[in-house]
A and B are shown apart, each in its own frame.
Chain A
Amino acid sequence: MIVQPVLVTAAALFSLGIYGILVRRNAVMVLLSIELILNAVNINFIIFDSMLADSLMQGQIFTIFIITIAAAEVGIGLAIVLMLFRNRQTANINEFDLMKW
């Protein structure tokens, strides 16, 4: 089985996600970047699972868990962004400094 290209794809996806998180100013885009990172991890799980031919299929089961959690997380995240937008009329992440000293 050819693992390398898939891992490289996953790494690229992960880096893309990190970049998105650090650079994008729009909160929705940041959330999307987080999804990218999670999916990169999912790909890693899947490929290593099939490579190791795990009889319990732990990697795939884990992936399903992550997808579920990601869905929930995005639900909450979008709700927060929505509320922030309603209150401040902006989705620019630099404007949100509630955690400032």
Chain B
Amino acid sequence: MVKFDANLLAETELVYTDGGILAEFSWSLVVLPFVAALLITFIGKYLPYKGAEIALGTIALIFIYSVSLMFIHITEGVASEFFVNVGSIGQFDIEFGWVVDGLSIMMYFVVGTVALLVFIYATNYMEGEIRYTFFFTSLTLFAGSMLVLVSSPTLIQILIGWELVGVCSYLLIGHYWEKKDNSSAAMKAFITNKIADIGLMIGIIILALNTGTLRISEILYQSTHDYEKLSKVAFAAAILLFIGAMGKSAQFPLHVWLPDAMAGPTPVSALMHAATMVTAGVYLLARMFPFYKSMAPEALDIVMLFGVITLLGAGLIAIVQDDLKKVLAYSTVSQLGYMVAAIGSGAYTAALFHLWTHAFFKALLFLGAGSVIHAVHSNSMLEMGGLRKVMPKTFTTFIIGTVALAGLPPFAGFFSKDEILASFNHEGETTFFFIAVLGAFITAFYMTRAVSLTFLGEYRGHGHPHESHNMMTTPLLTLAVFAIASGWVNIPGVYTGFTDWVTTRKTKIVEYHPESFDLFALSSGLIAGLLGIGLGYYLYQLQGSAETGDDKIKIQPVWTVLENKYYLDHFYFRFIIDPIKINISKAVDKFNTNVIDRFINGVGQIASLLGGIVYNNLDQNGIDRFLNMSSSGTDSFGGRVKLLQTGRTQQYLMLFLGGVVTISLLILFII
């Protein structure tokens, strides 16, 4: 890898429009959800649909706005940013603002579309559930926080959006907090993210101190034009930012929160996994991509390494999960690994393209899973089976999502996964290329397993499941259309509009982009996908596992390792959480009771003692006595003086006259 690529110095020679009034008013995209959340909180309960109508209306407005932005972006190409100065700390101007360029418009569109469909779905899915109104408040806030993050032209706003997303995810994962598991899952997500956030925060501070600005475009400009200035800290900053991204985008070893986050209601999982939370890390890496590319190519190698570990590791765990949502959760982690690895290999567009297609088909899969769970009242695939007959719409759309995820043409996942594989191949990362192909095989396999156990064979659960309400199946059908067609916007050699969309930015993006299909990568990916589906179908259909629901291919002890998620949670508990809990927390507790509490109590006692002394001496004997004496003095004095008031006018006049005469005499004789 070259240390400093002269190509990167090239100014952006393309002329983009500033987007006109539509871009200028894009702040409303960010402000609207927060206003809506306030409204839902205060008046939602008194409305006929319990506040869901406000949430839906807001998100529909955002959707329409993002579609119009997308439209002018496709026709003209928009790249502009706006700043509002809100103050300064030392030399740093604290600025908020909104950036309207290819990358953020793509994210607005993804958030707007997926959120709209999830909201429609949720109105029915959450009907009659506890805290319905509050759920919509948090869901609106969640979408709004993500918009704060992706619209951010400054690092400080990114940090704010980042934390807001974390808080909202905490609220939503722990929606059913009455059960201990759910509230601990929420806590786990929050704390894991918090640990990663420290990396982001330090990274931002390092960048800000060394460039003297918080504006991202300014930092990117400096990192492509002024090698000396940042070269010393670039690697550290790049790694720290990546640690932040690892938390939100669930990269190994900080992915542990994401599968547990399935404790939240299914619409939350769909929104979180497709549009609003896990894409944040990939977005950050993409936003800072010119910086990584020109200043810290070594860091990109590390990014790629972690991405590849994640995509393989999480994919393997997904095979052994019995919980339908957990299969999808690990699948998300694995796909995020693809995106991060793609960024690491320098394929900016490929990563964002996969983010784009993945958002639609993963939202589809989650909503489909939600539909199934709603019908059978269980998350476990062992209690499902045979649902294709009773839930035809859910089954069809789920199959479309599965095929899109497995990467068969002409579905969306095929194009994006192929582009990632092609760029691996181009970069000469042979090992990683084959791991990614293996990942594609695993993906196809576990998805076939999930479909077999859920929809094929005979029903193993209780009760009589039936197809979900139209409010739930309509979003499924809409998303199915996206899952089929969203990949067609970037077909090498045919139409590569998506590449132009996301590279339309103030800073020039230098990356490899395939001109035509890489036949080797294409065939490897396709064969891997087909093999995965074939093996899955063979094992779970032809061998009859779907009938009984048990896995015939369990190979001890590999299975045990996978089922225990590589003992990563055990490791964290054994070496991080328990030591903290047992030693540090106990010690802190002891310190608290013995030192701080004692000190506080002592202070309290001393204060009370002092108070008593002050009360008895100063207050009772000093101030009170003085006040009492002065009042009684006034009283007795008045009692005597009042005798002068005889009520006889002539007496008064006499005194008055005496006074006049006295003063006159004084004036006459003395002055």
Contacts and interface: CB of A to CB of B under 8 A. Distances in A.
Given A18-B657, A22-B657, A97 B650 contact: no
A98 interface: yes
Chain A facing B: main interface SS: loop
A30 to B, nearest CB: 8
B75 interface: no
B647 A100 contact: yes
Interface in B616-671: 642-643, 645-650, 653-654, 657
A68 interface: no
Interface in A6-21: 18, 21
B668 to A, nearest CB: 16
Nearest to B650: A22
Contacts of B645: 99-101
Contact of B646 (A18, A22, A100): A100
B647 A98 contact: yes
A24 to B, nearest CB: 9
A98 B647 CA distance: 6
A94 interface: yes
A22 B647 contact: no
Interface residues of A, number: 11
A78 to B, nearest CB: 16
Interface string A72-101: 000000000000000000000110111111
Contacts of B650: 21-22, 93-94
Contacts of B653: 21-22
A27 B642 CA distance: 25
Contacts of A101: 642-643, 645, 647
A99 B649 CA distance: 9
B653 to A, nearest CB: 6
A97 B650 CA distance: 11
Nearest to B639: A101
A18 B647 CA distance: 19
Contacts of A18: 657
A67 B648 CA distance: 28
A97 B642 contact: no
Interface string B408-442: 00000000000000000000000000000000000
A100 B643 CA distance: 9
Nearest to B652: A99
Contacts of B642: 101
Interface of B: 642-643, 645-650, 653-654, 657
20 contacts: A18-B657, A21-B650, A21-B653, A22-B650, A22-B653, A22-B654, A93-B650, A96-B647, A96-B649, A97-B647, A97-B648, A98-B647, A99-B645, A99-B647, A100-B646, A100-B647, A100-B648, A101-B642, A101-B645, A101-B647
